[in-house]
């Protein structure tokens, strides 16, 4: 069984392309358009890693990170963001994210972050 990596991003192109790449890399993948959608899904208990956009309408990626921590769920998180704001990146890492990748990122960088998440 391949580990399940979930993608949460409001950008449809990311939700379509990233799961395909993850599958090619040997993971199972599911995509969600919002943090709220992920929280109500059956993947909440089975996700082994979360690739999470920081800026989304409604609940942000940082909000979801905090919500998961408060509920005692420890899912490794790799943030992805189009923002080049180092302050937000530093905050995500300080709160326990495995990595924070700037879009667009390479397959190599993503694979390194996933490898770190599964350590």
pLDDT in tens, 11-27: 999 999 999 999 999 99
DSSP 23-91: HHTT-EEEEESSHHHHHTSTTTTT-SEEEEES--SSS-HHHHHHHHHHTT----EEEEES---HHHHHH
Residue that is written with structure tokens 């990170």 in the block: 65
What count of other Cβ atoms lies within 10 Å of the Cβ of residue 40?
11
Structure tokens, 57: 């309408």
Q: Is residue 85 over pLDDT 90?
A: no
| 97 closest CA partner among 119, 115, 113 | 113
- For residue 94, the model assigns a pLDDT of 95
Residue scoring higher pLDDT (84 or 66): 66
For the cut 80, the answer to whether the pLDDT of residue 1 exceeds it is: no
Going from the N-terminus, what domains does the chain have, and what CATH number goes with each? Answer: 4-117 (3.40.50.2300)
pLDDT for 59: 97
pLDDT digits (tens, 9 = 90+) for 19-58: 999 999 999 999 999 999 999 999 999 999 999 999 999 9
Phi, psi (degrees; rounded to nearest 5) at 99: -160, 170
Which pTM value belongs to this model?
A: 0.95
């Amino acid at each position: 069984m391949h580990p399940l990596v979930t993608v949460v991003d409001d950008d449809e192109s990311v939700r379509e392309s990233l799961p395909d790449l993850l599958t090619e890399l040997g993971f199972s993948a599911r995509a969600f358009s919002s943090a709220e959608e992920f929280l109500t899904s059956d993947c909440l208990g089975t996700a082994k890693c979360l690739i999470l956009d920081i800026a989304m309408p409604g609940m942000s990626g940082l909000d979801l990170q905090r919500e998961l921590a408060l509920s005692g769920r420890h899912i490794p998180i790799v943030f992805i963001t189009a923002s080049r704001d180092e302050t937000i990146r530093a905050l995500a890492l300080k709160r326990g994210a495995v990595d924070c990748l700037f879009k667009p990122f390479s397959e190599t960088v993503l694979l390194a972050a996933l490898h770190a998440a599964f350590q």
